[in-house]
Structure 1
Amino acid sequence: MSLSDERDNRLKAYLDLLNAVLSVGGLFIIFSCNFTFDEMKEQFGHSSLDIVCEVPAAHSFSFGGKQGVTSTGVVFRKTS
C-alpha cells in the first residue's frame, strides 16, 4: 500500500474499509517494519481512530551509533 504510486488513494481506501468493518470501540492493531510510531500516527491518526498505545518492540539494533527497532506496533481504537 505505502510503496504504491497511488499511496494516498490506497491509504484512504484502507481507512474507509477500517471505518466500515470496525465497530465503535473496536481495536485496530498494526505492525510495520517500515514505519516509525510517528509515521503510523500520521497515517492513521487523522481518522476516526485514536491511539491507545504503542506496542513495545521485542528486538532492537544499533547502526551508525543510533538505536532502532525491527518493527513498530500501534493499537488504535475507533471513536466514531
Structure 2
Amino acid sequence: MSPRFAPVLFGFVLSALMSLIVSGIATLKNAGFADGFLGLWISAWLPSWLIAFPTVLVVAPMARRFVGLFVKSPAPQVRG
C-alpha cells in the first residue's frame, strides 16, 4: 500500500478501535452482562463506526493544527 494512504488507514483503525471501546462501555453500562450482550454491543458499534470514521478524517487535521499551537516544533538538526 502506498504511504499516501497512511492517514486514511490510521483513521480507519483509530475510529474502529475507539468506537468499539466506547460503544462497549456504553452498552455494558446500560445493559450489563445480559444475555445477548455481544449482539447489543456490535449493533451499537457498527453505526457508531460509520459516523466515527469520516469524523476522524475531517477532525484529525484540525486537531493537529490545534495541538500545534501549544507544542513547539523541534529545532532543526545541523548535519556536519
Q: TM-score, normalised by structure 1?
A: 0.29
User: Would you tell me which structure has more helix in proportion to its own residues?
Assistant: 2
- Higher-Rg member (1/2): 2
